[in-house]
Chain A
Amino acid sequence: MNNMFQDNINQLSLLAAAIILALTVWVAGKYIKQMKTDRSTGELADENWDGIGEYKNELPAGWAYTFLGTMIWAIWYWTTGYPVNAYSQIGEYNEEVAAHTKQFESKWANADKETLQAMGEGVYLVQCAPCHGIAGDGMGGKAADLSVWGSKAGVLDTIKNGSKGLGFPMGDMPAGLLSGDAAEKVAEYVANGMKGDQPAEFATCAGCHGADGKGMNGMAPDISTYGTPEFVKMVLEHGKKGFIGTMVSFKGRLTPIQEKAVGTYILSLSHND
């Protein structure tokens, strides 16, 4: 209710309604009084319509001035007054979106893990579930299985099958660069956030991802962030043209907070702690 009176259009409408009501009462009263007391006088006009004549009356002064006023107002409104850029439907949409984005960002800037996870689940169900499935299992191979993503099994899967179509300058990662024990060791190391002693076999990965795994300044994906929302953000923004199918880029479609939330949610699928 409070908001209704803050709107300037509503304020103007109410003001106009009050004025119209007052004028109506006044004019009606005036004419009712005239009908009771007035006698018709004056000079009749020449025309006569089936016996009904018309007095030659001057325009009532108030009427004439009002009419003149509306003409002057029309010229002003026509030339300068019309709010050409003051209002548009798209403008209102833009303002609404900007206000919402600002509020959204300040409200969730320091969201805790539970909140992010809940938000991520909401976004996931709308944007990701159509391909990756409601449970994140990739629906029997229709898309990447996110229930193992971010864990050692996920890294092993990538080493075994390679990775394709993230669009980095280094190009696609071939399948089976490592196998057996070596793959196990590297997967363990990467899935643990590259902490601890680096296995010698990581040299195979370092060729593209760099010795620190950070991807040599954007030449290849930064695998030191594997298993964190950061990595999910990267995939969301790049999109993927992989072995299973194509994943569109979500750049600009999700806000950074939403991307982080999706990442948090996806990680919760494989890390049930």
Chain B
Amino acid sequence: MFHWLEQRPFLFSVGVFLVIAFAGLIEIVPDFAQASRPIAGKQPYTLLQLAGRHVYIKDSCNACHSQLIRPFKSETDRYGPYSVSGEYAYDRPFLWGSKRTGPDLHRVGEYRTTDWHENHMWEPTSVVPGSIMPSYKHMFTQNADLETAYAEALTVKKVFNVPYDKPGFTKLGSWEEAKKQALEDAKKIAAEMKNQDVKDAVARGEIPEIVALIAYMNSLH
């Protein structure tokens, strides 16, 4: 009955592959398509937040901190509601991380504040005795790279259709507009900080890395 098939091993192999692949496809594709949509109300990063995200990546924060809260009570008690995939829709790349030398940071904006981060990044053991995290004092003097952040935002807007400048979404605008907005955001954060050098720098129109990083940390929730 199946001689025609049994005599053609290559055709048979292809057929078997197609049948199994079909089952996989109809299970995986609809789930993927739905889960990769941004959750309602999710905003793309502002220019300042994106620059902070670059600082986060540059200093390899993700080597010790994850950004993924799993649905276990022990995790949600400590870090807040579990993560869902739509929350990472504008993360390119996502920073899930695979090792927690430090705590998870996916919702750190819900329970840590600007002044706490300022103390902590300057000298972690001043607020968390016993912390093994190094201090990141250079972030208070180096300036954030807004140009690269703008280039990324513009690229994802054009290539991946990230909804910058669409009604109800984060405004990006031209380089001048975006830079002006980033400086305004930075001023709000600097107002809550105590380091005089950082305040002076922002008043001069510079954006130290720490300000961008705090903007990014506060946006995580």
Give chain A residues whose Cβ lies under 8 Å from the Cβ of B113. Answer: 131, 245-248
Contact B82 A93 (CB under 8 A): yes
Give chain B residues whose Cβ lies under 8 Å from the Cβ of A97. Answer: 73, 76
Which residues B168-196 have CB closer than 8 A to chain A?
192
Contact with B along A75-92 (1 / 0, CB 8 A): 000000000000001100
Contact B71 A90 (CB under 8 A): yes
Contact A246 B192 (CB under 8 A): yes
| Known A93-B71, A93-B82: A246·B115 in contact at CB below 8 Å | yes
Give chain B residues whose Cβ lies under 8 Å from the Cβ of A100. Answer: 73
| Known A142-B127, A245-B192, A246-B192: A131·B116 in contact at CB below 8 Å | yes
Give chain B residues whose Cβ lies under 8 Å from the Cβ of A247. Answer: 113
10 closest Cβ pairs, A-B complex: A245-B115, A93-B71, A246-B113, A248-B111, A97-B73, A245-B113, A90-B71, A142-B119, A131-B116, A96-B73
Q: A69: CB under 8 A from chain B?
A: no
Q: Measuring CB to CB, which residues of chain B are less than 8 angstroms from any residue of chain A?
A: 3, 71-73, 76, 78, 80, 82, 110-116, 119, 126-129, 192
Contact with B along A186-213 (1 / 0, CB 8 A): 0000000000000000000000000000
Contact A130 B192 (CB under 8 A): no
Give chain B residues whose Cβ lies under 8 Å from the Cβ of A253. Answer: 80, 110-111
Give chain A residues whose Cβ lies under 8 Å from the Cβ of B126. Answer: 139, 142
Give chain A residues whose Cβ lies under 8 Å from the Cβ of B3. Answer: 47
Closest to B127 in A: A130
Which residues A53-105 have CB closer than 8 A to chain B?
89-90, 93, 96-97, 100
Q: A93-B72, A93-B73, A244-B115 are in contact. List 14 more A-B contacts (CB 8 A).
A: A90-B71, A90-B82, A100-B73, A127-B111, A130-B112, A130-B127, A131-B116, A131-B127, A142-B115, A142-B116, A246-B192, A247-B113, A248-B110, A253-B80
A93–B83 Cα distance when bound, in Å, is 13
12 intermolecular pairs with C-beta atoms under 8 Å apart:
A97-B76, A126-B78, A130-B112, A131-B127, A139-B126, A142-B119, A142-B126, A245-B114, A246-B114, A247-B113, A248-B111, A248-B112
Q: Measuring CB to CB, which residues of chain A are less than 8 angstroms from any residue of chain B?
A: 47, 89-90, 93, 96-97, 100, 126-127, 130-131, 134, 139, 142, 244-248, 253
Give chain A residues whose Cβ lies under 8 Å from the Cβ of B112. Answer: 130, 248
| Known A130-B127, A139-B127, A245-B113: A89·B71 in contact at CB below 8 Å | yes
| 8 Å CB contact of A245 from B71, B76, B116 | B116
Question: Could you tell me the distance in whole angstroms from the C-beta of A202 to the nearest C-beta in chain B?
Answer: 33
Question: Could you tell me the distance in whole angstroms from the C-beta of B96 to the nearest C-beta in chain A?
Answer: 17
Contact B115 A134 (CB under 8 A): no
A90–B35 Cα distance when bound, in Å, is 14
Question: Could you tell me the distance in whole angstroms from the C-beta of A133 to the nearest C-beta in chain B?
Answer: 8
Give chain A residues whose Cβ lies under 8 Å from the Cβ of B129. Answer: 134
Give chain B residues whose Cβ lies under 8 Å from the Cβ of A130. Answer: 112, 116, 127-128
